[in-house]
């Protein structure tokens, strides 16, 4: 069975553990069961990224809530790589609740949501690329402590035209998509390369 990185769009560890200790993913049945719960956590992460922007929601809440959220991300990653099926179920549910808590706190504070005319994606260098229809819409982009590159659709078109190989690859593999999840700003999970230890253990 193929190994995969921890599934949290805004909370994956920066490196895959050297040894896969997942007991929950050792049979097709338990893998399917675990994925059902992880998919729900993934769905919430993706929805929150679409609503608030890439890596932005955890920055919109008070530090104490951010800390609880980051601790829960750690616990979920630990369950993914070192846990049993029940660990994955429990921590996935708690991760969904953590996303809900951040969403409610951001709503209550009146924080601005991601404008529907802006699409954001995290680049390999850690910056967030904001894609806007044109220069007039660039003013709608909110960097808010994130490294941000703003691109218009026209600029994206020029880049694609300048690198025709990219288009040929997409033509050769219909339906293929390139997936890369990386933090856009300094994120505590980026400094943790394995989640085998308890939260209280020393680095």
Sheet with 119-122, edge to edge strand ranges: 119-122, 128-132, 148-152
Paired residues of 131 in beta bridges:
119, 151
Instruction: Kindly report, residue by residue over 139-156, the tens digit of the pLDDT.
Output: 878 777 778 888 888 888
Tell me the two tokens of residue 58. 């955890």
Whether the CB-CB separation of 118 and 132 falls below 8 Å is answered with yes
Going from the C-alpha of 114 to that of each of 56, 127, 143, 157, the distances in angstroms are: 9, 16, 11, 23
Q: Are residues 109 and 123 in the same domain?
A: no
Q: Are residues 87 and 124 in the same domain?
A: no
Q: Measure the CA–CA gap between 118 and 30, rounded to whole angstroms.
A: 39
* Residue at 135 is within a domain: yes
Instruction: Kindly report, residue by residue over 21-66, the tens digit of the pLDDT.
Output: 788 988 888 999 999 999 999 999 989 988 998 888 999 999 999 9
Q: Are residues 38 and 99 in the same domain?
A: yes
């Amino acid at each position: 069975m193929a190994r995969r990185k921890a599934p949290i769009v805004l909370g994956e560890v920066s490196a895959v553990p050297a040894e896969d200790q997942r007991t929950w993913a050792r049979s097709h049945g338990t893998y399917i069961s675990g994925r059902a719960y992880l998919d729900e956590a993934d769905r919430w992460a993706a929805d929150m990224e679409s609503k608030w922007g890439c890596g932005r929601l955890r920055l919109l809440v008070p530090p104490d809530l951010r800390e609880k959220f980051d601790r829960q991300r750690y616990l979920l990653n630990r369950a993914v790589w070192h846990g049993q099926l029940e660990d994955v179920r429990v921590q996935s549910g708690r991760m969904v609740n953590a996303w809900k808590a951040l969403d409610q706190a951001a709503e209550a504070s009146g924080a601005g949501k991601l404008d529907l005319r802006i699409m954001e994606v995290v680049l390999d260098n850690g910056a967030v690329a904001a894609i806007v229809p044109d220069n007039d819409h660039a003013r709608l982009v909110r960097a808010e402590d994130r490294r941000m590159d703003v691109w218009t659709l026209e600029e994206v078109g020029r880049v694609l035209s300048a690198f025709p190989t990219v288009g040929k690859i997409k033509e050769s593999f219909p339906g293929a998509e390139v997936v890369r999840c990386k933090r856009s700003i300094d994120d505590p999970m980026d400094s943790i390369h394995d989640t085998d230890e308890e939260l209280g253990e020393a680095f």
